């Protein structure tokens, strides 16, 4: 399984919680050097806790499950 597929599979595990709060996350890109770019959607866009969600939920889960991931950033 390629890196992008692994990231998408892991994001699918996170999505139900985000959707439950009226938001979502879209995978934009995965670079060869372990940088994942995502776009927060719905209630997650503009939420005061969006940065915390990005770091402590999305990034942590991706790093835990996919050691190749170095960082996650939002656009």
Q: What is the largest CA-CA distance in the chain?
A: 35
pLDDT of the residue at 3: 94
Q: How far apart are CA 70 and CA 11, in angstroms?
A: 16
Q: How far apart are CA 67 and CA 47, in angstroms?
A: 28
**pLDDT at residue 1 above 80?**
no
Q: How many domains does the chain have?
A: 1
pLDDT of the residue at 20: 93
- pLDDT tens digits, one per residue of 21-65: 999 999 999 998 999 999 999 988 888 888 899 999 999 999 999
pLDDT of the residue at 36: 97
- Which structural domain range is residue 32 located in? 3-74
- Whichever domain contains 52, its CATH number is 3.30.300.130
Listed in sequence order, the residues at least 6 apart from 43 whose beta carbon sits closer than 8 Å to its beta carbon are 21, 22, 23
> What is the CB neighbour count within 10 angstroms for residue 51?
11
């Amino acid at each position: 399984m390629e890196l992008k597929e692994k990231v998408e599979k892991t994001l699918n595990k996170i999505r139900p919680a985000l959707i439950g709060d009226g938001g979502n996350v879209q995978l934009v890109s995965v670079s060869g050097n372990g940088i994942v770019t995502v776009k927060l959607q719905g209630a997650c866009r503009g939420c005061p806790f969006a940065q915390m969600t990005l770091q402590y939920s999305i990034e942590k889960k991706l790093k835990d499950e996919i050691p190749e991931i170095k960082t996650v950033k939002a656009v």
